[in-house]
């Protein structure tokens, strides 16, 4: 057992998957949950929580580990509510995909003696809610931690141990660097997916739904990504604005070069470009972050993404 009592604040995909993984590995003595929705609380009570409370403040009392699994925009208000009720020596972490904004919102509300270690599991599906979690979600996925300067080594080692026991691989980095990295590997790809689906929706209305009817694997993959939780992604783009705009600018430059090559019939440039980018995809497979087996957007089990 890594933590005698764990409090999960927010009970969606990540928190429910953590609960299932902790149960499967015997990693927590008691799992306490809180969510705003009474329906979500009822599902969590039935499926994976030992106890569910009516408020976040109740949930964190006596907890050795508190996991903030709410949208990034709600982190500050939750931290203000739970701060006075945290157990001395407890660890607080989060699962938001933006880190600097979370640090700025949460840290001021936590009392001395509580260890704050922001985190981001690079795992997910397009599904959300308390029924969507499963114990193996984190297997072989990266879980990034951004411990602040002077972070307690024992608290960090304990949290790392829990994460690794749930099947994930842990890396640490500065919060600002994290936000730039995820802008490349997650945030901008989602922005592009949302945009492409929006373009296709416009075309569908023009062409009496042929775009949907004849969509092939590429478009199906775009729609899978674009099916992600809209509240979460609204907050991501608003709180990681600078990094996202930076990478979108670079994307626009690359797209302009590609447009020019197509317009000019520069087959040599296109072949070289696609060869180079194909190698990146192969690197992802070799790193164990995906499989080379094609599923053409129709995998039986939920696909995972960052």
Mean model confidence pLDDT for the chain: 89
Q: What is the pTM of this model?
A: 0.81
Question: What percent of the chain is modeled with pLDDT above 70?
Answer: 89
Tell me what the mean pLDDT of segment 76-101 comes to.
Answer: 97
pLDDT value of position 304: 41
Written out in words, the top-level CATH class of the domain with range 177-286 is mainly alpha
102 phi and psi, to 5 degrees?
A: -70, -45
pLDDT value of position 145: 98
Residue 215: count of CB within 10 angstroms of its CB: 16
Query: Hey, what are 206's tokens?
Result: 């023009």
What DSSP character marks residue 146?
A: -
User: Which has more pLDDT, 299 or 252?
Assistant: 252
Categorize the per-residue pLDDT at 280 as very low, low, confident or very high, splitting at 50, 70 and 90.
confident
The distance of Cα 106 from the centroid of its chain, to the nearest Å, equals 18
CATH topology of domain 3-173: Rossmann fold (3.40.50)
Residue 32 to residues 84, 130, 133: CA-CA distances in angstroms?
Answer: 18, 14, 16
**pLDDT tens digits, one per residue of 107-142:** 999 999 999 999 999 998 878 899 999 999 999 999
Q: Where in the chain is the domain with CATH 3.40.50.720?
A: 3-173
pLDDT value of position 297: 42
pLDDT value of position 144: 97
Q: How far apart are CA 120 and CA 181, in angstroms?
A: 12
pLDDT value of position 290: 65
**pLDDT tens digits, one per residue of 193-205:** 888 888 877 776 6
User: Reduced to 3 states, what is the DSSP secondary structure of residue 216?
Assistant: coil
Categorize the per-residue pLDDT at 276 as very low, low, confident or very high, splitting at 50, 70 and 90.
confident
Q: How far apart are CA 62 and CA 87, in angstroms?
A: 5
pLDDT value of position 126: 75
Tell me what the mean pLDDT of segment 201-229 comes to.
Answer: 71
Judged against a pLDDT cut of 50, whether residue 301 lies above it is answered with: no
Q: Where in the chain is the domain with CATH 1.10.3660.10?
A: 177-286
Judged against a pLDDT cut of 70, whether residue 27 lies above it is answered with: yes
Tell me what the mean pLDDT of segment 33-57 comes to.
Answer: 97
Residue 47: count of CB within 10 angstroms of its CB: 14
């Amino acid at each position: 057992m890594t933590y005698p009592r764990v409090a999960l604040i927010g009970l969606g995909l990540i928190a429910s998957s953590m609960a299932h993984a902790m149960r499967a590995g015997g990693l927590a003595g008691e799992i306490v949950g809180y969510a705003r929705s009474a329906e979500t609380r009822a599902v969590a009570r039935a499926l994976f929580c030992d106890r569910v409370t009516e408020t976040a403040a109740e949930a964190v009392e006596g907890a050795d580990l508190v996991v903030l699994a709410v949208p990034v925009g709600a982190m500050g208000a939750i931290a203000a509510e739970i701060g006075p009720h945290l157990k001395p020596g407890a660890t607080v972490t989060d699962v938001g995909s933006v880190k600097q904004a979370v640090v700025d919102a949460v840290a001021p509300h936590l009392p001395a003696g509580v260890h704050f270690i922001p985190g981001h599991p690079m795992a997910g599906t397009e599904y959300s809610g308390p029924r969507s979690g499963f114990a193996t979600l984190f297997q072989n996925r990266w879980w990034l931690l951004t411990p602040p300067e002077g972070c307690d080594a024992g608290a960090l080692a304990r949290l790392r141990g829990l994460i690794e026991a749930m099947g994930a691989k842990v890396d640490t980095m500065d919060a600002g660097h994290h936000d730039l990295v995820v802008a490349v590997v997650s945030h901008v790809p989602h922005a592009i997916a949302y945009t492409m689906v929006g373009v296709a929706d416009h075309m569908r209305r023009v062409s009496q739904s042929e775009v949907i009817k004849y969509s092939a694997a590429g478009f199906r993959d775009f729609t899978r990504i674009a099916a992600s939780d809209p509240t979460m992604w609204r907050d991501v783009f608003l709180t990681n604005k600078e990094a996202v705009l930076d990478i979108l600018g670079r994307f626009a430059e690359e797209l302009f070069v590609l447009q020019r090559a197509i317009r000019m019939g520069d087959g040599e440039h296109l072949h070289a470009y696609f060869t180079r980018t194909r190698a990146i995809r192969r690197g992802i497979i070799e790193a164990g972050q995906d499989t080379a087996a094609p599923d053409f957007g129709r995998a039986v089990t939920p696909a995972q993404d960052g």
